[in-house]
Structure 1
Amino acid sequence: MDDDRVWSFEKSLWLGDADHYRELVDDECLMVLPQPPFVMSGKQAIEAVAHTPRWSEVEIAQEQVSRPQEGLIVIAYHAKASRGEEAYEAHCTSVYRRLAHDEWRVVQHQQTPPLMSRPAVDAAG
């Protein structure tokens, strides 16, 4: 899968419905998201998507793609998503595994919202 297709694939997961997730997310996938239950299986993530309004827009930046071995793609990026007035952003990773020619599934995904900057600590204490 070339890089353009990788990013199209990833964006489709932000915007797609539960049926789209069922098609592209492996049942054995592990996800870490910034809301309870925090750690989910692919099946749990698909169920959660079925009961969550989908994002209407997503912007992906700081894209990085690694191919550590044949049939495995690892990506990292920054996402900004929105639906109506609601906005969300996170630093993300995903791992795709090839099942057959031109057939890929997500086997790992995580989202880390930007950490709030902490005030500098005065050296005097």
Structure 2
Amino acid sequence: MNDERIWAFEESLWTADAEHYEESIDDECLMVLPEPPYVFTGEAAIKAVQQTPRWSSVELSERQVARPQEGMIVVAYHARASKQDAQPYEAHCTSTYRRIEHEVWTVVQHQQTPPLTGGAG
């Protein structure tokens, strides 16, 4: 998957409907999200993402792509998402994709780290 397609796919995970998630999130996915229980696995990860409100737009900056082996892609970036009648959301994120078959990729790992609100001790 080339970089342009990677970023289009990642953006779609922020803005697309629940059906798109069901197709895109692997059954073995591990996610860390900034809401309890924080760590989600498998079907719970899919449900957590499906229940997340869709953003109308997202800007991905500080983009990094790694391809540690054939059939695996790891991305890291800063996201700023927005929608009408809601506060913007920001987080530093990572996602890992694995190739299932030619041109078919699923997310096997995703994490979001919002900005820290307190000082480190």
Instruction: Report deviation, 1:117.
Output: 5.8
1:79 aligned counterpart, secondary structure? strand
Instruction: Report deviation, 1:50.
Output: 3.3
**TM-score (ref. length: structure 2):** 0.92
Question: 1: distance between equivalents of 2:58 and 2:42?
Answer: 21
Counterpart residue number, 1:70: 70
Sort the Cα spacing of 1:18 and 1:42 in 2 relative to 1 into closer, same or farther, 3 A.
farther
Counterpart residue number, 1:12: 12
- CA offsets per residue over residues 25-46 of structure 1, 9 Å max, x none? 0011000001111001242132
1:107 aligned counterpart, secondary structure? strand
How many residue pairs get aligned? The number is 120
Give the gaps of 5 or more residues in structure 2: none
Q: Which one has a bigger Cα radius of gyration?
A: 1
Q: Would you say 1:27 and 2:27 are equivalent positions?
A: yes
**TM-score (ref. length: structure 1):** 0.89
Counterpart residue number, 2:88: 87
Give the gaps of 5 or more residues in structure 1: none
Q: Would you say 1:54 and 2:50 are equivalent positions?
A: no
- Percentage of identical aligned residues: 62
Instruction: Report deviation, 1:65.
Output: 0.1
CA contact (8 A) 1:98 1:105 kept: yes
Counterpart residue number, 1:108: 109
